[in-house]
Structure 1
Amino acid sequence: MTKKSTKAPAKKTAAKAAPKAEPAPKAEAAPAKSTKVAKTQLVEQVAQKTGLTKKQADQAVNAFMEIVVQGVQKGQSIGLPGLGTFSVKATAARTGVRPGTSDRIQIPAGKKVSFKVASTLKGTLGDAE
């Protein structure tokens, strides 16, 4: 003897039956112009300003970024005139609190990368729009 399933079909609730409202497009809330310059855009701008091909500009940008990263990894300060200075700073060991459990934890000493904006750029930030 086999048992037949007499399960009733699922009832549609008012929330499920109504068509889903589409979320408002983000383009309306945020400006259409992005505030982040991606590496590809940076390469394009370098190519336009210097007359290099995009491939050459990409190699130049990659070389520049490698030099900055290697310098910071060695603990050197990297000064970029008109832009600012990357440097490595030591952080002291300290006691912290673990979120959620409120347990006290010891955070070890370490290093962090710091960037100080050049005063010439800092003075012009309010004017750029």
Structure 2
Amino acid sequence: MLWTMTKKSPANTPSTPVATPVPASDPAAGEKLSKVQLIEQVAQRTSLSKQDASRAVDAALSAIAEALKGGKTVGLPGLGTLDVRATAARNGVRPGTAEKIQIPAGKKVGFKVATDLKKAL
């Protein structure tokens, strides 16, 4: 079960967070498909054993990661496209201390959703 933090009313202890359950069926709950669940679904849909499906999923994820590390774009038909994007150097503020810092340029992985999937959402 997922939990969210809410504040009590001012009549009660102010700013004391109280955990309240969020139903799992709530679309805003942010359900996540775990790797184990993904492997189970691959095994069911392909008639592979869970061990073989696990190796297949691991191999696919490894191939995607290696391609991205090599600076390549990875197209996943029906899902979208992963690519490496450069980020510019910028000024930032350190949380908690309000100290101004310089954030160096870097790289990040970007994802563009496929048009068909975007329409289906």
Aligned CA distance change for structure 1 residues 25 and 110 (closer, same or farther; 3 Å): closer
For structure 2, the 5+ residue unaligned runs are 1-17
User: 1:36-89: per-residue Cα shift (whole Å, max 9, x none)?
Assistant: 111111111111111111111111000000001111111111000000011000
Q: Which protein shows a greater Rg?
A: 1
From 108, 112, 116, the equivalent of 1:112 is 108
Q: How far did residue 24 of structure 1 move? A: 7.0
TM-score, structure 1 normalization: 0.71
Aligned CA distance change for structure 1 residues 71 and 105 (closer, same or farther; 3 Å): same
**Deviates most, 31-40 or 106-115:** 31-40
Counterpart in 1 of 2:8? none
Counterpart in 1 of 2:42? 46
Q: Whose strand proportion is higher, 1 or 2?
A: 2
Q: 5 Å matches for 1:85-104?
A: 85-104=81-100
1:31 aligns with 2:24: yes
User: 1:86-116: per-residue Cα shift (whole Å, max 9, x none)?
Assistant: 1000011111122233322111110011111
TM-score, structure 2 normalization: 0.75
For structure 1, the 5+ residue unaligned runs are 1-22
Counterpart in 2 of 1:72? 68
Code of the aligned partner of 1:90: A
User: What is the SS of the residue equivalent to 1:75?
Assistant: coil
